[in-house]
Amino acid sequence: MNTKRKMFLKMVTASLLRRRSRMLIALLSIAVGATILSGLVTIYYDVPRQMGAQFRNYGANMILVPASGASMTTESASEALKEIPPDNLIGASPYRYVNVEMTSRQRTFIAAGTDFEQVMSTSPYFVVEGEWPRNDREILVGKETAELVGVKINSVMELSFRNEETKKRNRINFTVSGLLDTGGEEESYLFMTMKAMEDLTGITDTLDVMEMSVSAAEDELNSYAEAISAANPDISARLVKRVTKSEASVLSKLQALVLIVTLVVLALTMICVCTTMMAVVSERRREIGLRKALGASDQSIRAEFLGEGMFLGLLGGLLGTALGFAFAQFVSVNVFESSISFQPLLLPLTVVVSVVVSALSCMLPIKNAIAVDPALVLKGE
Amino acid sequence: MSLLELKDISKIYGELKALDNVSIHVDKGEWVAIMGPSGSGKSTMMNIIGCMDKPSKGQVFLDGVDISKESSRKLTEIRRDKIGLIFQQFHMVNYLTAVENIMVSQYYHSLPDEEEALEALGRVGLRDRAKHLPSQLSGGEQQRVCVARALINHPELILADEPTGNLDEANENIVLDLFRQLHREGTTLIVVTHDPEVAEAAQRTIVLEHGRVAREIINENFQE
Ligand SMILES: Nc1ncnc2c1ncn2[C@@H]1O[C@H](COP(=O)(O)OP(=O)(O)OP(=O)(O)O)[C@@H](O)[C@H]1O
Ligand SMILES: [Mg+2]
């Protein structure tokens, strides 16, 4: 390094490290600003993920149904699922609906054949009293239906289905493993495994709907849906608007809030650094006059104060990145009950913003420094 | 040969004439003392000679160049290249060590050179205090550092405004001895002082009163 640059760095750092006092206040305000900046940016980028996870509790946000005039099979549906990255697919529950008769009451009900493992992840709001079915002879009965026909957990129900082609009625006894509470229309259904439904009805392979829970923003969901519909002409993919819309609007409001808070904090930081540096400049008038008397040009004075400001920004930015991550982690753990990973890009971002903010804050103080009259040192002020 | 020539300069602050038609002339290598009561315009004159202020009227020739009309940027350059300054309040940058304070002057002039700065400190007898901050130095030591700083860039002209005003006898003598050395090396010295002893060390004394040159005294007893 050349001796001139070395001396420059020496002066700039010595001014901060040996003088301390007021510069420490400026450093502190930059660090606080940088902390909030990096903390909020972390949350800003992490909130969609966290919120998405929270929203997935409200159920499926995309469904596959057969295109009009076509039919959907287990095979074609699983082909369609390949359009969605496996990491983003939280669950996909196939459903086939059939009218079955409860022999003892001579009433028909809608029975749904599905995959219970998947239902648990696509419909986390399903509350089961008792147990989820463990085999192909156990069923879930919607609460409403259970009350209507007076069945309880462990009751045995005989269900029958009349095959229109063979004109034969098939009967099977099922044990009620649990009662389903959803607060929705599902409470009037019976739920069984796909295999149980095949055994009862002889119908295989066709699906009426595939309910999916996908971790993605609205735009992404739309593009997945388009890709699926394009690649599989027999299948139509649709978003469940009620869920995706409210998710998107809550998110955008939250992100706007975070953005505004960040801007306000940066503005406050600038005001604080600016006033502190003003005080520092007036405190150092004699020194500035002396430097000018020794031959410092306006540019030298500007470079030195800018250098001090940027050094301040650098230190504050580094400090703020660390504290900000801790802050974001704290918020995440306490609000969303999940931890976040450190974004490496955050370090350069915070440092650059701190350096720029700090340098901008020094503009006015630098103007004052340049205006100092070197003659004052001879006057013995 | 003339290094400095003030031609009818005046400095006017509103009603007040801090300098009133002053003309003086200093040769290269000459050692001149400036005396006069408080408020007589000594510092005002030093500021003008030191390129830190401009006269309201008149011309100032430094090394043949009229500096009375130059831009402040140009004045900074001239001050940096030709003039070494010593002040009554030994102004130092308080967060830099003795040797770093000298290097600041090199930094603005050309390139910092620690070896050379240490040599200059050695010349004022403070090489062992190189790493001390100003707060760790006595007043006399600080002023000696300032002398070292003033001579580090080999200026043609050293301007000192009451350099011994705050010093004891011993330190005053050290500073005067340094001036004698500089004089022998051919440096031009202009020293403002209230102290007749300091004035007697010079070749010539100019006395200011009410912003005018009242008289000039040639020192018959001057010893090289
Ligand atoms: N910036 C200024 N504005 C107005 N008046 C000034 C200014 N600077 C100096 N003066 C006035 O000019 C006169 C000369 O001041 P100067 O500082 O030159 O005196 P001096 O001879 O150095 O005195 P001292 O021995 O006390 O240092 C004084 O009356 C002073 O009040
Ligand atoms: Mg004075």
Say whether both A208 and A134 belong to one domain. Answer: yes
- A4/B107 CB distance under 8 A: yes
Tens-place pLDDT, residues A113-137: 999 998 888 888 888 999 999 999 9
Say whether both A78 and A188 belong to one domain. Answer: yes
Predicted confidence at residue A331, as pLDDT, reads: 79
Tens-place pLDDT, residues B128-171: 999 999 999 988 899 899 999 999 999 999 999 888 888 888 88
CB-defined site of ligand 1, < 6 Å: B 13, 16, 18, 36, 38-44
How big is the CA angle at A31 (ends A29 and A36), to the nearest 5 degrees? 100
Which chain B positions have a beta carbon within 8 Å of A294's beta carbon? Answer: 80, 85, 104-105, 108, 149
Q: Check pLDDT > 60 for residue A381.
A: no
Kind and range of the H or E run holding A349: helix A346-361
Q: Which ligand is nearest to the CA of B53?
A: 1
Predicted confidence at residue B58, as pLDDT, reads: 93
* ipTM computed for the complex: 0.90
Q: How far is CA B187 from the centre of its chain?
A: 11
Which residues are A176's β-sheet partners? A139
Kind and range of the H or E run holding B35: strand B31-35
Helices and strands: H and E segment counts in chain A: 12, 12
Choose one of A239, A260, A285: the last residue of a domain.
A239
Ligand 1 atom closest to residue B46's alpha carbon, by position in its atom list: 18
Q: Which of B54, B74, B106, B108 to mutate to test the interface with A (most CBs of A within 10 A)?
A: B108
**CB B212, CB B6: distance < 8 Å:** no
Chain position carrying tokens 């043949």 = B64
Residue A40 makes CB contacts below 8 A (sequence gap 6+) with A258, A261, A262, A265, A324, A328
SS3 content of chain A, % helix, strand, coil (to 5): 60, 20, 20
**CB A380, CB B87: distance < 8 Å:** yes
- B111/A4 CB distance under 8 A: yes
- A293/B52 CB distance under 8 A: yes
Say whether both A91 and A193 belong to one domain. Answer: yes
Residue range(s) defining the domain that contains residue A109: 60-239
Least CB–CB distance from B96: residue in A6, A14, A289: A14
Q: Which ligand is nearest to the CA of B87?
A: 2
Say whether both A69 and A182 belong to one domain. Answer: yes
Q: CA B136 → CA A20, B52, B94, B142, B187, distances in Å?
A: 17, 30, 10, 9, 30
Choose one of A200, A218, A239: the last residue of a domain.
A239
Q: Which of A79, A65, A75 has its CA nearest to residue A231?
A: A79
Q: Check pLDDT > 80 for residue A174.
A: yes
Q: Nearest CA of chain A to the CA of B162: how many Å?
A: 10
Give the mean model confidence (pLDDT) for residues A356-375. 92
Lowest mean pLDDT among A41-45, A101-105, B170-174: A41-45
Cβ–Cβ contact A15 with B under 8 A: yes
Predicted confidence at residue B199, as pLDDT, reads: 92
Select the highest-mean-pLDDT range: A36-50, A52-66, A329-343, B48-62. B48-62
Q: Which of A36, A13, A30 has its CA nearest to residue A276?
A: A30
Predicted confidence at residue A243, as pLDDT, reads: 67
CA-based max dimension of chain B: 51
Select the highest-mean-pLDDT range: A32-36, A78-82, A247-251, B98-102. B98-102
CATH of the domain spanning B26-55+68-218: 3.40.50.300
Say whether both A86 and A235 belong to one domain. Answer: yes
Tell me the pTM.
0.70
Give the mean model confidence (pLDDT) for residues A46-52. 69
Q: CA B210 → CA B20, B26, B192, distances in Å?
A: 8, 21, 16
Lay out the sheet containing B2-13: strands in order across.
Answer: B16-27, B2-13, B57-62, B65-66
Instruction: Count Cβ atoms within 10 A of the Cβ of residue B132 and give its class: 0-12 exposed, 13-18 middle, 19 or more buried.
Output: middle
Question: Which is higher by pLDDT, A244 or B110?
Answer: B110
For residue B68, the CA-to-ligand 1 centroid distance in Å is 19
Predicted confidence at residue A167, as pLDDT, reads: 81
As a whole number of angstroms, the distance between CA B24 and CA B214 comes to 12
Cβ–Cβ contact A370 with B under 8 A: no
- CA-nearest residue, atom 17 of ligand 1: B43
Q: Which of B46, B93, B135, B151 to mutate to test the interface with A (most CBs of A within 10 A)?
A: B93
Least CB–CB distance from A287: residue in B85, B93, B111: B93
Ligand 1 atom closest to residue A380's alpha carbon, by position in its atom list: 27
Say whether both A189 and A278 belong to one domain. Answer: no
pLDDT band at B31 (very low <50, low <70, confident <90, very high): very high
Predicted confidence at residue B129, as pLDDT, reads: 92
**CB B212, CB B8: distance < 8 Å:** no
Residue A8 — φ and ψ, nearest 5°? Answer: -60, -50
Q: How far is CA A71 from the centre of its chain?
A: 36
Which chain B positions have a beta carbon within 8 Å of A298's beta carbon? Answer: 73
Letter string b/e over residues A52-83, b meaning 16 or more CB atoms within 10 A of that residue's CB: beebbebbbbbbbbbeeeeebbbebbeebbeb
* Domain count within chain A: 2
Say whether both A227 and A87 belong to one domain. Answer: yes
Q: Nearest CA of chain A to the CA of B49: how many Å?
A: 11
Q: How many CB pairs under 8 A join A and B?
A: 90
A89-102 and A209-214 beta bridge pairing: antiparallel
Q: CA B65 → CA A114, A141, A337, distances in Å?
A: 100, 107, 77
**DSSP code at position A188:** G
Neighbours of B66 (CB within 10 A): 12
Q: What 3-state class would DSSP assign to A143?
A: helix
Cβ–Cβ contact A349 with B under 8 A: no
Predicted confidence at residue A379, as pLDDT, reads: 67
Say whether both A187 and A287 belong to one domain. Answer: no
Chain B positions with Cβ closer than 8 Å to A: 43, 46-47, 50, 52-53, 73, 76-77, 79-81, 85, 87-89, 91-96, 100, 103-109, 111-113, 133, 149, 161
Q: Check pLDDT > 70 for residue A353.
A: yes
Predicted confidence at residue A67, as pLDDT, reads: 86
Tens-place pLDDT, residues A133-167: 999 999 999 999 999 888 899 989 899 998 877 88
Q: Check pLDDT > 60 for residue A203.
A: yes
Q: Which of A294, A284, A279, A280 has its CA nearest to residue A378?
A: A294
Tens-place pLDDT, residues B188-207: 999 999 999 999 999 999 99
Letter string b/e over residues A181-193, b meaning 16 or more CB atoms within 10 A of that residue's CB: bbeeebbbbbbbb
- B92/A18 CB distance under 8 A: no
Q: Which of the listed residues A372, A377, A379, A381 should we mutate to test ligand 1's pocket, taking the one with most ligand atoms within 8 A of CB? A: A379
Which chain B positions have a beta carbon within 8 Å of A4's beta carbon? Answer: 107, 111-112
Say whether both A73 and A33 belong to one domain. Answer: no
Q: Which of B19, B38, B42, B47 to mutate to test the interface with A (most CBs of A within 10 A)?
A: B47
Which chain B positions have a beta carbon within 8 Å of A290's beta carbon? Answer: 91-93
For residue B40, the CA-to-ligand 1 centroid distance in Å is 7
As a whole number of angstroms, the distance between CA B7 and CA B61 comes to 8
As a whole number of angstroms, the distance between CA A254 and CA A363 comes to 33
Say whether both A121 and A230 belong to one domain. Answer: yes
Say whether both A263 and A327 belong to one domain. Answer: yes
**CB A249, CB A101: distance < 8 Å:** no
pLDDT band at A344 (very low <50, low <70, confident <90, very high): confident
For residue A233, the CA-to-ligand 2 centroid distance in Å is 96
For residue B42, the CA-to-ligand 2 centroid distance in Å is 6
**DSSP code at position A57:** G
Q: CA B155 → CA B49, B141, B182, distances in Å?
A: 14, 21, 10
Sign of CA dihedral B197, B178, B82, A4: negative
Q: Which of B120, B127, B101 has its CA nearest to residue B182?
A: B120
Q: CA A141 → CA A122, A150, A160, A190, A375, distances in Å?
A: 18, 11, 15, 5, 95
Choose one of A239, A264, A279: the last residue of a domain.
A239
Q: Check pLDDT > 70 for residue B21.
A: yes
Lowest mean pLDDT among A185-194, A203-212, A245-254: A245-254
Q: Which of B76, B90, B152, B157 to mutate to test the interface with A (most CBs of A within 10 A)?
A: B76
Assigned token pair, B78: 């001239």
Q: Nearest CA of chain B to the CA of A308: how many Å?
A: 14
CB-side neighbour CA atoms (13 Å) of A81: 22
As a whole number of angstroms, the distance between CA A276 and CA A313 comes to 14
Q: Which of B31, B67, B70, B81 has its CA nearest to residue B183?
A: B31
Give the mean model confidence (pLDDT) for residues A29-49. 81
Cβ–Cβ contact A377 with B under 8 A: yes
Letter string b/e over residues B23-50, b meaning 16 or more CB atoms within 10 A of that residue's CB: ebebeebbbbbbbbeeebbbbbbbbbbb
For residue A110, the CA-to-ligand 2 centroid distance in Å is 106
As a whole number of angstroms, the distance between CA A366 and CA A280 comes to 10
Say whether both A325 and A297 belong to one domain. Answer: yes
